């Protein structure tokens, strides 16, 4: 890998990390102000995924620039990059769990909205009897 592409990739990693941290701060502020729809379990899943992803990004940056490969003893190097891979897989797994919880929440919200709408229609029908309907008259 050429030094230019290595430094470019490092800069991109740092920008991604800063953007991700900014997003986390915005989410945290929204949660503290009560503008979040997630419950405590989902918040824990998101926080765990965020920590896993931030560790993976940090370890990737550190491994690219500061971790030398010792060809006589490659196991620490292999273990390091395997750990980065595991952290990425954990972050992806937690994102899938979060997505399933959001889908369930959306489905429950839609069902509740439909039930509320059906209740409103029933209440309207009970309030207005059909006796004054224009379709119920007969021509003589």
pLDDT in tens, 33-79: 887 777 778 888 988 998 899 999 999 989 888 888 888 999 999 99
- Taking CB atoms within 8 Å and a gap of at least 24, the contacts of 88-94 are 88/52, 88/53, 88/56, 90/48, 90/49, 90/52, 91/49, 91/52, 91/53, 91/56, 94/45, 94/46, 94/48, 94/49, 94/52
70 within some domain? yes
53 within some domain? yes
What does the pLDDT read at residue 115?
Answer: 95
What does the pLDDT read at residue 135?
Answer: 55
Is residue 137 predicted with pLDDT exceeding 80?
no
54 within some domain? yes
Q: What is the mean pLDDT of residues 118-124?
A: 91
32 within some domain? no
9 within some domain? no
23 within some domain? no
74 within some domain? yes
Percent of the chain with pLDDT over 70: 91
- Domain residues for the domain of 49 are 38-125
Is residue 140 predicted with pLDDT exceeding 70?
no
Is residue 129 predicted with pLDDT exceeding 70?
no
7 within some domain? no
Q: How many domains does the chain have?
A: 1
Average pLDDT, the chain: 86
């Amino acid at each position: 890998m050429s030094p230019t592409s290595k430094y470019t990739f490092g800069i991109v990693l740092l920008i991604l990390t800063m953007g991700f941290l900014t997003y986390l701060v915005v989410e945290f502020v929204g949660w503290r102000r009560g503008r979040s729809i997630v419950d405590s379990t989902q918040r824990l899943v998101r926080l765990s995924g965020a920590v896993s992803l931030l560790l993976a990004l940090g370890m990737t940056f550190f491994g690219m620039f500061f971790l030398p490969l010792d060809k006589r003893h490659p196991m620490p190097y292999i273990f390091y990059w395997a750990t980065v891979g595991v952290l990425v897989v954990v972050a992806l797994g937690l994102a899938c769990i979060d997505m399933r919880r959001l889908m369930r929440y959306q489905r429950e919200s839609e069902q509740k909205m439909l039930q509320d709408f059906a209740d409103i229609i029933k209440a309207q029908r009970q309030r207005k009897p059909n006796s004054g309907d224009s379709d119920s008259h007969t021509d003589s």
